[in-house]
Amino acid sequence: MSSNVLLNVNGIEVIYNHVILVLKGVSLQVKEGGIVALLGGNGAGKTTTLRAVSNLLAGERGEVTKGSIELRGERIEKLTTSDMVERGVIQVMEGRHCFAHLSIEENLLTGAYTRKDGKAAVAATLEKVYNYFPRLKTRRTSQAAYTSGGEQQMCAIGRALMANPKMVLLDEPSMGLAPQIVEEVFEIVKDLNAKEGTTFLLAEQNTNMALRYADYGYILESGRVVMDGEAKALRENEDVKEFYLGVG
Ligand code: ATP
């Protein structure tokens, strides 16, 4: 395994409620500074894979029953979600989950709750987030409930950034958004990756968009990786074109 592998998921099985086997031996790697797409249809196991990495399974009555997950070589499958946040791994959940009654800025500030480096450092990160998401700056005092779906998605990503993450796990960032807004969100992800070095593992049903921005992709079907490769190679693969890109 090369030294710049940040995340190494090795043959994991995940079971919900002690009986429902959902992941049947998933392996994947994410290199430091990479953008990796986890693709596949409804129920393929994308969200479950992200939850396994960020240790959010327990709240869903799920557990990793086989295999291992390593972050920079450290086994992490027995850690808690807050241990993962401390290690710089933050998940942005599907459906955005902004606090509806809080303003955009209050939402963003909740993302900094684990930081111990003082108010000035948090304020500097907030300004940085506003630089990446000028829309959020304009809407900083608006109650999240009254902002658009795109703004809420940006708010959810911005809130994750407030923790100064090394790796962001993005679950279906395109869900429910107009194509132009999806493009805007992905452009910001690309920018963050290039300028801040933030690593992204993103689960997406929008294969076309994800493969335009990712450098590597894994395709999941029924809890198994059925194909993986460089994003460019996947985009040109005839099966991917036919079954996932809608051109064939
Ligand atoms: P989607 O895009 O629909 O979210 P996905 O690829 O992210 O799909 P998962 O959400 O990981 O897939 O779901 C994989 C399987 O696990 C599905 O059959 C789903 O019904 C099941 N599942 C997910 N969460 C739970 C849970 N908390 N308890 C029981 N089964 C679950």
CA 43 to ligand 1 center in whole angstroms: 5
Q: What is the dihedral of CA 4, 161, 11, 36, to 10 degrees?
A: -70
Q: ipTM score of the complex?
A: 0.96
For residue 76, give the amino acid letter: I
- pTM value is 0.94
The per-residue pLDDT for range 170-209, each reduced to its tens digit, is 999 998 888 999 999 999 999 999 999 999 999 999 999 9
Ligand 1 pocket mutation pick from 24, 48, 220 by most atoms within 8 angstroms of CB: 48
Phi-psi label, residue 188: left if phi above 0, alpha if psi -120 to 50, beta otherwise: alpha
CA 9 to ligand 1 center in whole angstroms: 18
CA 141 to ligand 1 center in whole angstroms: 35
The pLDDT of residue 28: 98
The pLDDT of residue 247: 60
Q: For strands 62-71 and 5-16, give the pairing.
A: antiparallel
The per-residue pLDDT for range 176-187, each reduced to its tens digit, is 888 999 999 999
Residue numbers in the chain where pLDDT is lower than 70: 1-3, 96, 247-248
Ligand 1 pocket mutation pick from 19, 46, 174, 205 by most atoms within 8 angstroms of CB: 46
